[in-house]
Amino acid sequence: MAFKKAPEKSNVSKEELLKFYREMLLIRRFEEKAGQLYGMGLIGGFCHLYIGQEAVVVGLEACTKEGDKRVTSYRDHGHMLACGMEANGVMAELTGREGGYSRGKGGSMHMFSREKHFYGGHGIVGAQVPIGAGLAFADKYKGNDNVTFTYFGDGAANQGQVYETYNMAQLWALPVIFVIENNHYAMGTSQQRSTGSETLFGRGLAYGIPGEQVDGMDVLAVKEAGEKAVAHCRAGKGPYILEMMTYRYRGHSMSDPAKYRTREEVEKMKSEKDAIEHVRDLLLTAGLSSDEDLKAIDKEIKEVVNASAEFAKASPEPAPAELWTDIYA
């Protein structure tokens, strides 16, 4: 995998860098806290952490406008925080409480927010891909210029329905950005062991969909690529594919011992490519922020996350009668 060295970006403002720093840090700290609560038995079932991949969703959210939509897989906590959903509501869903976004009925993999145009949270690998194209279909039908961000993994990229979707999305010029979060592993299967294709975005070319590979650990590169893709979609030119080269630091889910990769590989990514450290470096070396400034942000984020954990513990379990509600609209 060829990561570019941190590019010099003169066009990025201090405010934007700080925003990226804050948003990525929120995701990281939130996920660490979720991991702890899982260990304490307060969160159950499957819990897939986004730690390591923060730059992807934060960089792309910087390219969105009101009305744009997003849908992703079960590894969804970061996406929700980045699109403005409340840490409290997400954490309380993780603990299965009334205060959660799905009122405790969905759990880690199944949260939604119509208000923030977040359509899940999908537990079936690859199934969110046609759904994302369908959201785009509705926008095109209505004649607005909204774009849908459809996130999926390198493993999901092997599901047949992805290619059925590519074909229709291009045929009908749907305003959908397919964001492949290539973290190189699908559970214990590395990309090399699941496909003979060298790139994943390249497969879209066969359907006529343009795309590119992006350093997904560099939030500025992500944003730059995102803007290009969004412009393409908003101009009515159809779908675009962004293959984000990224990395998950933790196991696939909380119960994955992650024996399929070396500790050195993980450590190397953490020490050389970490997206948060990268922005921190940019801020400090350019003299845009001081250590104290960043410490103050760290503290503030820690408070938000701790408060969300407290909220998630204090929020009551759903009333028993909730078992029977929401089955039909």
Partner 1 sequence: MAVEVLMPALSPTMEEGTLAKWMVKEGDVVKSGQIIAEIETDKATMEFEAADEGIVGRILVAEGTSGVKVNTAIMVLVEAGESADAVVAPVAAAPVAEVATPAVAAAPAALAAAVAVVSKASADWPEGTPMKTMTVREALREAMAEEMRANPAVMLMGEEVGEYQGAYKISQGLLAEFGAKRVVDTPITEMGFTGIAVGAAWGGLNPIVEFMTFNFALQAIDHILNSAAKTNYMSGGQLGCPIVFRGANGAAARVGAQHSQDFSAWYAAIPGLKVVVPYSAADAKGLLKQAIRDPNPVIFLENEIMYGQSFEVPDLPDFTIPFGKARIWREGSDVTIVSFSIGMKYALEAADLLAKEGISAEVIDLRTLRPIDYDTVLASVQKTNRCVTVEEGFPVGSIGDHLASTIMQRAFDYLDAPVVTCTGKDVPMPYAANLEKLALVTTADVVAAVKSVCYR
Ligand X SMILES: Cc1ncc(C[n+]2csc(CCOP(=O)(O)OP(=O)(O)O)c2C)c(N)n1
CB 189, min distance to partner 1, A: 7
CA 257 – CA 280 distance, rounded (Å): 30
Q: Is 197 in the site for partner 1 (CB under 8 A)?
A: no
**Which residue, among 101, 112, 91, 98, has the nearest Cα to 47 in the 3D structure?**
91
Q: Find where tokens 């820690």 sit.
A: 302
Q: Which of 109, 209, 214, 309 binds partner 1 (CB under 8 A)?
A: 109
Measured distance CA(244)–CA(242) in Å, rounded:
6
φ, ψ for residue 185, nearest 5 deg: -135, 140
Strands 69-71 and 189-190: unpaired
Pairing of strands 189-190, 185-186: antiparallel
Min separation Cβ 21 and Mg ion, Å: 25
Cα 124 to Cα 110, 129, 143, 152, 157: the distances in Å are 11, 10, 30, 11, 13
Q: CB under 5 to 8 A by kind: which of partner 1, Mg ion, ligand X, none does 36 bind? A: partner 1
The stretch among 23-31, 187-195, 275-283, 306-314 that binds partner 1 (CB under 8 A) is: 187-195
> Which residue among 187, 235, 296, 314 contacts partner 1 (CB under 8 A)?
187
- By the rule CB under 8 A, 96 interacts with partner 1: yes
- Alpha carbon distance 35, 32 (integer Å): 5
Residue with structure tokens 């001081």?
290
The stretch among 121-129, 134-142, 168-176, 296-304 that binds ligand X (CB under 6 A) is: 121-129
Burial track 27-39 (b if 16+ CB lie within 10 A, e otherwise): bbbbbebbbebbe
Which of the ranges 1-9, 123-131, 272-280, 302-310 carries the binding residues for partner 1, by CB under 8 A? 123-131
Least distance CB 122 / partner 1 (angstroms): 8
Residues in the interface with ligand X (CB under 6 A) total: 15
Query: Smallest distance from the beta carbon of 9 to partner 1, in angstroms?
Result: 30
Among 125, 209, 233, 309, binds ligand X (CB under 6 A): 125
Q: Give the up-direction half-sphere exposure of residue 280: CA atoms within 13 A in the CB hemisphere.
A: 15
Could you tell me where the DSSP H helices lie in the chain? 14-39, 54-61, 77-82, 87-94, 128-142, 160-171, 191-194, 202-205, 219-234, 263-273, 275-285, 291-314
Q: Which of 139, 154, 218, 243 binds ligand X (CB under 6 A)?
A: 154
Interface positions with Mg ion (CB under 5 A): 153-154, 183, 186
Report 231-260 residues binding ligand X (CB under 6 A): 252
Residue 274 CB, shortest distance to ligand X, in Å, is 18
Residue 235, contacted partner among Mg ion, partner 1, ligand X, none, CB below 5-8 A by kind: none
Interface positions with ligand X (CB under 6 A): 73, 75, 123-125, 153-156, 181, 183, 185-187, 252
Residue numbers at the binding site for partner 1 (CB under 8 A): 32, 35-36, 38-41, 44-46, 93, 96-97, 102, 104-110, 122-127, 155-156, 158-160, 186-189, 193-195, 254-257, 260, 317-318, 320, 322-324, 327
